[in-house]
Structures are given as C-alpha cells and as structure tokens.
Amino acid sequence: MVAPAVEAPVVIGLDVGGTKIRSGLVDREGTVLAEREMQSPASSEDEVLAALDAAVESLLDERVAAIGYGIPANLERGTGRALWATNLPLTDVDVLARTRHRFGLPVGIENDASAAALAEWRLGAGRGVDNLLMVTLGTGVGGGIVLDGALVRSWVELGHVVVQEGGQVCTCGGHGHLEVLASGSAADVAARELYGDDADAHVLVGHAKAGDEAAVDALAHIGRTLGAVIGSLANLLDPELVVIGGGFGAAAGRFVLEPAREAARREAIYPADRRLRVVPAQLGPESGLVGAGLVGFEALDGLR
Ligand SMILES: [Zn+2]
C-alpha cells in the first residue's frame, strides 16, 4: 500500500467587503486554488456572521490548516476584535475567537486594506522594500502601512483623513474626508455632474480613454487630491514606496497616478520630493484575497 502524499497546507482567505464576500483556498505562494463569491448581507450582524461561516464551509477540506480574514473594520490592537465597520453591520464582535472556536483552526484577522498591503509587500509591487504605504482606491479608500519591515497593526483609515475641514459629509459622518474627494464614489459624483444621472466612474473613465478633456480633468483632480494626502503622509512616515491598488485605482490608474505623483512630490519635504515612488499595485483585484490568505499563514506560523 502506498502512503498518501503529504500535501502542503493551504488556508482559507476571506476578503470581506461591503458588497461581496470573496473566499478562496490560498497556498503559501499566494496562488488562489479555488474561489467563491457571495453577496454581503447588509441587514444584521447575525446574517454577516452566518455568511462568513458559509464562506468557510464552502471551501473547507482536510488540507485547510488555517483561516485568514481581511475585513473592512477597525480592529482592536492585540485582540483583533472588530470594533466598528462603516459599510457592514459589525460592531464590537470577536470574529477571530468565534471562528477559531467554530472550526478549531488557527485564525488571523486584519483590516482589509492592511491585508492587501501585506500581499503587495510580500508578493507584489512592494517586494524587497521595508517601508511602504498602500492605498486601496475603490468605492471607498483604504490604507495599509509597512514600517521597518513590519505591517503596522493600527486602523490606518486613510479614507477618513480630513482634506477639507467642514467639507462634504462622508459615509462615516465626518466631513471633507479623502474618501469623499478621491475615490470611486467621488468619480461617480463627477461623472453625474458631467454626463447625467445614469453616469458613473466607469463611464467617466471611458470618456477619459476616448480623449474627453473634461473627464481627464476630473480624474486628474481626484489624483491631485490623493497625491496631496500622499505627500502629507510621506512627511509623516517616510515611505520608500507608495502602492496604489483597488478596483477604481486599477481602472483609472493611467489618469490618476501621474497627477497624484506630481502633487505628492510638491507637498513632500526634501528628499521625498525627489525620490518618492508612486506605483500601481501588481496583484490586481486578487490582492485582498491573497492578503487574507497570508494573514491565515501568519496565524498558522504563530506570527500573530
Ligand atoms: Zn469618513
């Protein structure tokens, strides 16, 4: 009788968003071996937790050694307890302990944008760098920071940095936050102003690609706003590299990145004004899922 081959462990990564939950079997190299997607329930915490359980169960087999979450919430430092989520009904709930108890596996949890930053740092645009800032530009704006070769485990709610005191109200209730001014949602607003109520960010990018100057200008304005904040953060953190990801970041990158780069260098103090690098993410829409998988491997390896 032939002994069964010892298979390398895989983990289940869950990239939890306000509109959908993506889950996948991920190996140590960040390859997604199988993937599922479902709508995020918006009505109650119980429904969200049940959906997360179902997402795990749909992929669970004997190879699975750990579970990792990327979740759009503020997490309590040290415990990983989800304190507050802007786009999901999750308030003060210990998703990590609950999942560990239910499935009997090591579990890691990280803010979704921080998980994406981990993936870009380990496997994408940030390989070989010890200090980086990741910006995820989607419907909202997220951030992740690596400093001195370690992922920063604080909130990094980059989308909720004030750009315009007393400005337009944000999804979080604050005013003039980056997310209101430079995000997929901001591009939706600009698109409606230019092309009518049915237009959205996708339409705006389409017009820009066709050479429409008004669309190019609107996206450049978003880029400059983002860049000004990046320059401010460069003065605070001194990153070697800034990585721009997220769905809107990927779609609008060629219109947003260069204005962002110029504005960042304009605001950054010497020598960041000359050497700050702002580059697109390399892992694309997979980065959140791959990052959640890497968080699972860190839990498996006893690193969190
Ligand atoms: Zn906000």
pLDDT at 50: 96
For ligand 1, the distance from its centroid to the CA atom of residue 175, given in whole angstroms, is 7
Mean pLDDT, range 114-141, rounded to an integer: 96
For ligand 1, the distance from its centroid to the CA atom of residue 210, given in whole angstroms, is 32
Q: What is the pLDDT of residues 203-230, one digit of tens each?
A: 999 999 999 999 999 999 999 999 999 9
**Strands 64-71 and 107-111, bridge-based pairing:** parallel
pLDDT at 299: 97
For ligand 1, the distance from its centroid to the CA atom of residue 173, given in whole angstroms, is 6
Q: What is the pLDDT of residues 248-286, one digit of tens each?
A: 999 999 999 999 999 999 999 999 989 899 999 999 888
For ligand 1, the distance from its centroid to the CA atom of residue 237, given in whole angstroms, is 21
For ligand 1, the distance from its centroid to the CA atom of residue 174, given in whole angstroms, is 5
Euclidean distance between CA atoms 216 and 119, whole angstroms:
30
Euclidean distance between CA atoms 81 and 57, whole angstroms:
22
Contacts with 156 (C-beta within 8 Å, 6 or more apart), sequence order: 111, 113, 114, 142, 143, 144, 145
Contacts with 159 (C-beta within 8 Å, 6 or more apart), sequence order: 140, 141, 142, 143, 170, 177, 178, 179, 183
For ligand 1, the distance from its centroid to the CA atom of residue 165, given in whole angstroms, is 12
Task: Tell me the average pLDDT of the chain.
Answer: 95
For ligand 1, the distance from its centroid to the CA atom of residue 185, given in whole angstroms, is 12
pLDDT at 6: 61
Q: What is the pLDDT of residues 122-134, one digit of tens each?
A: 999 999 999 999 9
**E strand segments, 210-299:** 241-245, 277-280
Q: What is the pLDDT of residues 15-33, one digit of tens each?
A: 998 889 999 999 999 999 9
Q: What is the pLDDT of residues 32-59, one digit of tens each?
A: 999 999 999 988 999 999 999 999 999 9
Q: Phi/psi at 25 (nearest 5 deg)?
A: -85, 125
pLDDT at 4: 55
For tokens 């509109």, name the residue. 19
For tokens 């995000």, name the residue. 183
Confidence band (pLDDT; 50, 70, 90) for 241?
A: very high
Q: Is the pLDDT of residue 3 over 60?
A: no
Please classify residue 71 by burial: count the beta carbons closer than 10 Å to its beta carbon, then call 0-12 exposed, 13-18 middle and 19+ buried.
buried
Q: What is the pLDDT of residues 70-105, one digit of tens each?
A: 999 999 988 999 999 888 999 999 999 999 999 999
For ligand 1, the distance from its centroid to the CA atom of residue 42, given in whole angstroms, is 19
pLDDT at 7: 73
For ligand 1, the distance from its centroid to the CA atom of residue 36, given in whole angstroms, is 30
For ligand 1, the distance from its centroid to the CA atom of residue 160, given in whole angstroms, is 4
Structure tokens at 252: 């609008």
For ligand 1, the distance from its centroid to the CA atom of residue 181, given in whole angstroms, is 10
CA 133 to chain centre: 12
pLDDT at 1: 53
Please classify residue 197 by burial: count the beta carbons closer than 10 Å to its beta carbon, then call 0-12 exposed, 13-18 middle and 19+ buried.
exposed
For ligand 1, the distance from its centroid to the CA atom of residue 52, given in whole angstroms, is 26
